Every structure is written in C-alpha cells, then in structure tokens.
Amino acid sequence: MKVFLDLFWFFRQEKKAYITGICLLMIVALLELVPPKVIGLMVDRIKNGNVTIGVLGTWLVVLLVVAILLYVLRYFWRVCIFGAAAKLSRQLRNELYTHFTKMPPSFYQRKRIGDLMAHATNDLQAIQQTAGTGVLTLVDSLSLGGFVLATMATTISWKLTLISLLPMPVMAFATSRYGTMVHQRFLKAQEAFSSLNDKVQESVSGIKVIKAFGYEKEDMESFRKKSAEVVKENIAVAKVDALFDPTISLVVGVSFFLAITFGAKMVLTGELTIGELVSFTTYLGLLIWPMLAFGWLFNIVERGRASYDRVRQLLEEQRVKESEQAIETTPSGDITYAVERFTYPNDAAFALQHIQFTLKRGETLGIVGKTGAGKTTLLKLFVREYSEYNGSIRFGEHEISDYALSALRAAIGYVPQDHFLFSATVKENIAFSMPNASDDEVMNAAKLAHIHDDIAQFADEYDTIVGERGVSLSGGQKQRISIARALLLDPEVLLLDDSLSAVDAKTEEQILTSLKEKRKGKTTIITSHRLSAIQHADLIIVLDNGKIIQTGTHETLMKEKGWYRDMYERQQLESLVEQGGGKWNSH
C-alpha cells in the first residue's frame, strides 16, 4: 500500500477529481443497497396480499430513479478516477521523454532502448492501473463491503450475518493460495514459451545450416516437443486457475445454504419476514465482489509499486549539467586541440592520447586511420558528447566547455557515421534542424549534397516518406540526405564523419568540389576511410590507436614512407579490382 503514499503528490494535484470520484463511489455503494431492500419489501407485501397499485407504482419509480442515478454516477466516477489515472500516465510519460532528451550519450550506452521503451509503456500502464483500478478497488471494496455488512447486520439480523459469513474466510484463504500457485506455474509456462521462442529464433537464424544438412524433419520434431512442453506447462497453470471459479461458487453456495436454513428457522420463529430473507440473500450476492476485489488489490498494488520504483529510479539519473556562466554567443574562429588523454566511461584503454593540432578558420581538416583509431571520438569531443578529457579544446576565443551547449552546437553541422533518418518526409528530414526553412533552402541544400536528382526520381519527391517505416533508400542516399540536413544550417564548422563511404567515387568528388566552393571561409572536418575524400584537405592527420602518427598534406605525406602512402596505393589497386581489373600496369 506504500505506493499510494508515493503517489500522494498526484492525488493532491488531482484532488478535485479524486475526492469527487470517491464520493460518487460511496453514493453508488449506498444506492446499490436499495434494490435488494425493495425486493424484500415487495415480497412481504405480495405474500401478505396487501399489494396496491399505488405501492407497486411507488416502488417501481424508486427503482427506476435508483437505476438511472446509478448509471449516471457510475459513469461519472469512472470519468473522475480513471480519467485522472490516465492523466498520471500522460504526465509521467512526458516527464520521461523530457528526461530522455537531457540524458548524455553514456546513458544510452548503458541502457538498451527496449528497456527504456518498456519503462515508458508497461511500467506506466501498471502505475496507471494503480492510480485507477487500484483506488477504485480499495474504495469500492471497503465502502460497498462495509455498507452491505452494516445493512445486513443492523436492518435484518446480525446473527444471520455472522452465520452466513462463516465460510467466507475459506474463500479468501483458498484464493490467495491459488494465487501464489498460479504465479509459480505461470513463470514456468513463461519459461517454456520463451524457450520455444528461442527455438524458433535459432531455426530461423540457422535455416541455411538446417537446409544444407537436410534436417527439416528433425527440426520440426524438436519443435513439436518444445511446443508440447508449452502445452504441458500451460495446462499445469490451467489446472490451478480452474480452481478459482468452483471454489468461489462452492463457498458462496454454502453461504447461501446457511443463510436460507438459518433464515428459514428465524422466519418460523418470527424473527424475520420472508421478504427480509430474500433481501438478505440478495445482499449476500453483493458481497462476493468486494471479497474478490480485495485479493486483486494486492496484486495491482504490488505491480504498481515495482513499476513506480523503476520509473523513479530512471528519473533520478543524472542529466547533462550546464554551468551558469556559460557563454551564449555562437563561437567562430580557429580550432585548437590539445587533448592529453581521453577514455570512454567504463573503459580502461585510452581512446585518444596526445592529440595536438590547430586548424585555421576556413580550412579543411582530414582525419584518416584504421577502424577504431579514434577518428569519430575526436569529433564527438568537439560536439561535447563527451567532456571528461584531460587537456583543452579551444574554438575561437574560448574553451568549448565554456560555451553553452546549445551555442556551441549552433555553430556545428554534424553528419554522423550512422546516418539516421526519421520516419518523415525527405523535406522534414533535411529541414530537421530548421523546421521552417523554405522549399528553396531545402532544395539548395539537397543540390549541394548531390541528392536532389535522386529525390526528383521519388514518387512524391520531397514529400516521400523515408526512414524505418518509409521507402528504403540506399546507404549512399541516406548519407547524402544526412549531409543536406547539416548543410542547410550553413554551419560555421561542418563535421563529416565518414559520411561519403557509401557514395561512389565520382559523386564523392562532385560533393567535395561543391563544398569547397560554397563553404569558402568556413571550417570543415572530414574523417574517412577512403583517402580520396580528404586528399585535398589543408591538413591531414593520421590516427592510430588514438595517437597521431602522421601529419601533413597529401603532397608531403605521399613523399613520406608510412601508413598514408601504403594505404593510398592499396586503395588505388582496390578500385582497379572493383572495376574488373583490366590488365595490370605497373606504375
């Protein structure tokens, strides 16, 4: 029940809805007492033969009014309580989303997206249930149960009430026992199902092997066994699950039996009228629900508490911090790296060491090296995805850490390696950072990235939906849309992180040429596997294992013996093989 305390802030926030809802619920519980009473009174009149049209009419009107009132009030408490509960999940979901947008990359490295999704869906669902159904069950079972018991005991007979309630504890005990048993067996059934799931997963992934060996039949047989296991475990669940209904109806049946037997005796002695006995049994019927509801309540609250704890933990995770005196002006100027050391969180190895270079404003820097050499890391430090390094990175007048994060990033157009597109139109993707850009601006950016001609071929041109749920684009097309997205900003610094890898050599050259033209006076940093992409850079650095092993321009590096020249020649050869070889001419 602690979760109700934890959620108290929300109940207070929505106190109007909750107080109204709870009052309505209680009125409903009171009104529910009326029909059995009316039935009893009518039975007595009918039995004694003193029914008149007037009496009958009056009671029928009372019943009708009660029925209509019940209908209206039941509808409105639902709106109050369930409506408030839905608000809670909306509010928490917004809070979670905002929180997610403020989390640093290290958070996303630690957490799996699937788990985060589960928090925002399943956990919120459970919390909503607690604030809705949980509150309802608590209030309803207490009020209805209490009122019915009180009415039975005071207006009919407390003796008969006690006697007929005797078997009820058996029901409470039995159902809670069954509950634990079902839970244990259900876990086993879940396990069997997930093992079946694994089996299918394995068969699908290993389909080629299975087909190559011709083991289809054997695999089906093994699947049949697993699925029989699932049936077996589920029947074990069903065997306990099926106990609930008969037990309840048996206990209720015995309870009715006691009520009628002892009630009849009291009728004979004149303590009770027949009508009161009929009312009594109808009240007894009303008691079944509160009894069961109490069992559920524990279940709902238990789940709600666990979920709320998980969500709260998530919300307490450290957000990205921003200092108070951060500089709000967008930086521009030379870029100077003097990074002594950088390691990723939870990693022992140095990702970067002794990185020192200065890039004049308007120059182009090319960074090359093997996979894992630290090229991307170098860029990530610049956009401040990570800031726990030893040393300094200066941009213009100041350290990059002195700028407000948004001011720094306003100066940067970043094209990351994994070209991620949103499920939106091409236009919306390109205009991602400038949602109100004009069609012309978008088109110019697309032309600059040499993707305009491709887009013109799409069925809906710039309104074509791309991304996961849209048309599938080639890697090169995705890359160029990502480039257009960054170019639209006409940023002070453009970062291309291996962004031309899936583009053919000719297009690459065209893009680089138009960038050179259009971005005069602006800084560009390019990392690449393919040396042709950085061949014309003003400064080239070669990284290996997080260290700079060579610096220079293409011309100076080609004169040196080393990684750069070896790689350049190798790539020349590779492109030859790709084109089908031809006759080899030694150079």
Pick the stretch among 166-174, 180-188, 534-542, 568-576 that binds other proteins (CB under 8 A). 568-576
Which pair of tokens denotes residue 16? 């109007």
Q: Which helix (H) or strand (E) holds 368?
A: strand 364-369
Closer of 46 and 162 to other proteins (Cβ): 46
Q: Does the footprint of other proteins cover residue 78 (CB under 8 A)?
A: yes
Binding other proteins by CB under 8 A: which of 23, 27, 79, 142? 79
Binding other proteins by CB under 8 A: which of 101, 325, 346, 457? 101
Contact between 525 and 496 under an 8 Å Cβ cutoff? The reply is: yes
Pick the stretch among 101-109, 294-302, 445-453, 549-557 that binds other proteins (CB under 8 A). 101-109
User: Per-residue x/- mask for other proteins, residues 46 to 75, rule CB under 8 A?
Assistant: xx-x-xxx--x--xx--xx-xxx-xx--xx
Q: Which helix (H) or strand (E) holds 329?
A: none
Residues 17-46 that bind other proteins (CB under 8 A): 35, 38-39, 42-43, 45-46
Closer of 203 and 353 to other proteins (Cβ): 203
Q: Say how many residues touch other proteins, by CB under 8 A.
A: 133
Closest distance between other proteins and the C-beta of residue 4, in Å?
21
Residues 460-489 that bind other proteins (CB under 8 A): 467-469, 485
CA distance 437 to 459: 22
Contact between 537 and 365 under an 8 Å Cβ cutoff? The reply is: yes
Closer of 31 and 338 to other proteins (Cβ): 31
Q: Does the footprint of other proteins cover residue 121 (CB under 8 A)?
A: yes
Name, in order, each residue with C-beta under 8 angstroms of 516's C-beta and a sequence gap of 6 or more: 364, 536
Name, in order, each residue with C-beta under 8 angstroms of 29's C-beta and a sequence gap of 6 or more: 140, 143, 144, 147
Which pair of tokens denotes residue 211? 């087909």
Closest distance between other proteins and the C-beta of residue 513, in Å?
26
Q: Sheet harboring 539-544: ordered strands across? A: 412-415, 493-497, 523-528, 364-369, 539-544, 547-552
Closest distance between other proteins and the C-beta of residue 5, in Å?
25
Q: How far is CA 35 from CA 59, 70, 146, 282, 480, in A?
A: 10, 11, 17, 9, 73
| Pick from 160, 154, 139, 162: nearest CA to 78 | 139
Closer of 134 and 539 to other proteins (Cβ): 134
Closest distance between other proteins and the C-beta of residue 104, in Å?
9
Q: Does the footprint of other proteins cover residue 506 (CB under 8 A)?
A: no
Closer of 338 and 383 to other proteins (Cβ): 383
Q: Does the footprint of other proteins cover residue 8 (CB under 8 A)?
A: no
DSSP result, 111-132: S-HHHHHHIIIIIHHHHHHIII
Q: Does the footprint of other proteins cover residue 173 (CB under 8 A)?
A: no
Residues 428-467 that bind other proteins (CB under 8 A): 432-433, 435, 467
Pick the stretch among 353-361, 471-479, 525-533, 572-580 that binds other proteins (CB under 8 A). 572-580
Closer of 196 and 338 to other proteins (Cβ): 196
Which pair of tokens denotes residue 275? 């009508």
Q: Does the footprint of other proteins cover residue 278 (CB under 8 A)?
A: yes
Which pair of tokens denotes residue 416? 């990351």
DSSP SS3 for 496: strand
How many Cβ atoms are within 10 Å of 482's Cβ, its own excluded?
26
Helix, strand, coil percentages, rounded to 5, for the chain:
65, 10, 25
Q: Does the footprint of other proteins cover residue 106 (CB under 8 A)?
A: no
Closest distance between other proteins and the C-beta of residue 393, in Å?
16
Residues 377-436 that bind other proteins (CB under 8 A): 383, 385, 406, 409-410, 412, 414, 416, 420, 422-423, 432-433, 435
Pick the stretch among 84-92, 161-169, 303-311, 509-517 that binds other proteins (CB under 8 A). 84-92
Q: Which residue has the tokens 């928090």?
A: 119
Q: Does the footprint of other proteins cover residue 246 (CB under 8 A)?
A: yes
Closest distance between other proteins and the C-beta of residue 354, in Å?
26
Q: Which residue has the tokens 């004009």?
A: 438
Binding other proteins by CB under 8 A: which of 256, 298, 458, 568? 256
Pick the stretch among 82-90, 395-403, 496-504, 505-513 that binds other proteins (CB under 8 A). 82-90
Q: Does the footprint of other proteins cover residue 247 (CB under 8 A)?
A: yes
Q: Does the footprint of other proteins cover residue 1 (CB under 8 A)?
A: no
Closest distance between other proteins and the C-beta of residue 256, in Å?
7
CA distance 230 to 192: 5
Closer of 8 and 213 to other proteins (Cβ): 213
Binding other proteins by CB under 8 A: which of 261, 318, 390, 510? 261
User: Per-residue x/- mask for other proteins, residues 527 to 566, rule CB under 8 A?
Assistant: ----------------------------------------
Closer of 402 and 538 to other proteins (Cβ): 402
Closest distance between other proteins and the C-beta of residue 2, in Å?
26
Binding other proteins by CB under 8 A: which of 15, 110, 183, 239? 239
DSSP SS3 for 378: helix
Contact between 293 and 171 under an 8 Å Cβ cutoff? The reply is: no
CA distance 385 to 382: 8
Residues 192-221 that bind other proteins (CB under 8 A): 193, 196-198, 200-216, 218-220
Q: Does the footprint of other proteins cover residue 83 (CB under 8 A)?
A: yes
How many Cβ atoms are within 10 Å of 474's Cβ, its own excluded?
11
Q: How many helices (H) and strands (E) does the chain have?
A: 24, 10
Which pair of tokens denotes residue 335? 């870029």
Contact between 526 and 537 under an 8 Å Cβ cutoff? The reply is: yes
Q: Does the footprint of other proteins cover residue 149 (CB under 8 A)?
A: no
- Considering only CA atoms, give the Rg of the chain: 37
| Pick from 198, 202, 196, 200: nearest CA to 229 | 196
User: Per-residue x/- mask for other proteins, residues 281 to 310, rule CB under 8 A?
Assistant: xx--x-------------------------
250, HSE (Cβ side, Cα atoms, 13 Å): 11
Binding other proteins by CB under 8 A: which of 100, 298, 344, 386? 100
Task: Please say whether the dihedral angle defined by the alpha carbons of residues 429, 431, 436 and 437, taken in this order, is positive or negative.
Answer: negative
